[in-house]
Amino acid sequence: MNTLVAVSIAPIGTNDELASQVAEIVKVIRDSGLPNRTTSMFTEIEGPWDEVMAVVKQATQILTDKGIRTEVVLKADIRPGYDNTLYSKVDKVNNILGNPDL
C-alpha cells in the first residue's frame, strides 16, 4: 500500500547547530532509493508502508545508536491504489493556481 510520510528526525539536547546530524539522517533516506524530497522542516518519503517505515527506523537509529535522545515527528498519508503522490499532490495545486511549472 502506497504511503507518503513527512518526517522530521532531530537530536535533542546536543547543541544549537544540527545540520551535520540532520545531513547524516537525510543521507540514509536518500540512499534508500525511495522517492524523497527534503525541505527546511521535513523530509517526505514515498513507497510501500513497510519500506518507508524501515527507512524512518534506520534514519532514527543514526542518532539513537550514538546514545542521542531523538525526537521524531511523522505524518503519514496512506492511499491505496495511488503512486507518485509526492509530486502529483503539489502539481494539482499549482495547476489550479495557474503555475504548472512550480
pTM to 2 decimals? Answer: 0.89
Query: Domain coordinates of the chain in residue numbers?
Result: 2-96
Gap between the terminal Cα atoms of the chain: 28
Instruction: Identify the CATH number of the domain defined by range 2-96.
Output: 3.30.70.930
What would the pLDDT profile of 44-87 be if each residue is shown by its tens digit? 999 999 999 999 999 999 999 999 999 999 999 999 999 999 99
pLDDT at 18: 87
The phi, psi pair for 45, rounded to 5°, reads: -135, 140
Q: How does residue 37 score in pLDDT terms, banded at 50, 70 and 90? A: very high
